[in-house]
Homo-oligomer: A and B are copies of this chain.
Amino acid sequence: MSTARPPAGRAKAAPDKRRLILDAAVRVFARQGFHTCRVSDIADEAGVAYGLVYHYFGSKDEVLDTLFLERWNVMLELIREVDAEPLPVRDKLRAIASFIVDSYHHDPDLMKVIIVEVTRAANSFGDTHIGTIREAYDLIGGMIAKAQAEGVFKPEIEARFAAMAFYGAIEQLLTGWIFGLLPQGEEHFERAKWLVVETVCGGLETRPAGHAGAVSGPV
């Protein structure tokens, strides 16, 4: 049941096999998929004995759970921080899109695993973490609702729906990269962030005019 068993006072040289296993699992899950890979694949990839995986994790599932929660909580944290600041919606959404795209840029395998095996897995893992996943959607929905209350966004579109569409658009861009359907690279990543925010905000904003200074593209 325990999700992590940090060696606490460890700080010096130790190779931290737990981390090693987690990182290896990301690569293996990304390459073969959670259901198709064997626990021994993870152990091999980590250069570690089979049994050690079970020393640190209660089950194969727990390895994936850990990976997901580790990352998703970072995102939740960021969303909350952004939400707390007194920024225009557009900037808030922009920050979220940036975070997700940057996460992919930084570790494509991890994001692939999270999206494919958890976020979109309507059975097993998706169900298990639905509450945690939902938090993100709700937070975004809240931002949009607030913008509507302030008159920045049109009120006739349910905030929850808009939040899902926004998040879905981002995730699909990642999917496009994962499947090799969209061109990757720094430049395209920046462009994608801009596109998503521009599109969604453009469609939601009250005053369709006034793209002042934002029309020319990202960075």
Contact = CB atoms under 8 A, between A and B. Distances in A.
B160 A182 contact: yes
Interface string A73-115: 0000000000000000000000000000000000000001001
A165 B116 contact: no
Nearest to A116: B122
Given A154-B215, A165-B172, A168-B168, 8 more contacts: A115-B122, A134-B181, A137-B181, A157-B198, A161-B192, A164-B181, A168-B170, A209-B209
B195 A161 contact: yes
A135 to B, nearest CB: 11
Interface of A: 32-33, 35-36, 112, 115-116, 120-124, 126, 130, 133-134, 137, 154, 156-158, 160-162, 164-173, 175-176, 178-179, 181-182, 191-192, 195-196, 198-204, 208-209, 211, 215-217
A50 to B, nearest CB: 22
A217 B126 CA distance: 32
Contacts of A211: 208
A26 B50 CA distance: 36
Given A165-B169, A202-B208, A204-B202, A179 B122 contact: yes
A215 B204 CA distance: 11
Contact of A201 (B133, B173, B203): B203
B172 A217 contact: no
A164 B182 contact: yes
Contacts of A161: 173, 176, 182, 191-192, 195
Contacts of A33: 121-124
Contacts of A179: 122, 126, 130, 133-134
A164 B178 CA distance: 13
A120 B120 contact: yes
Contact of A121 (B116, B166, B168, B204): B116
Contact of A123 (B116, B120, B160): B116
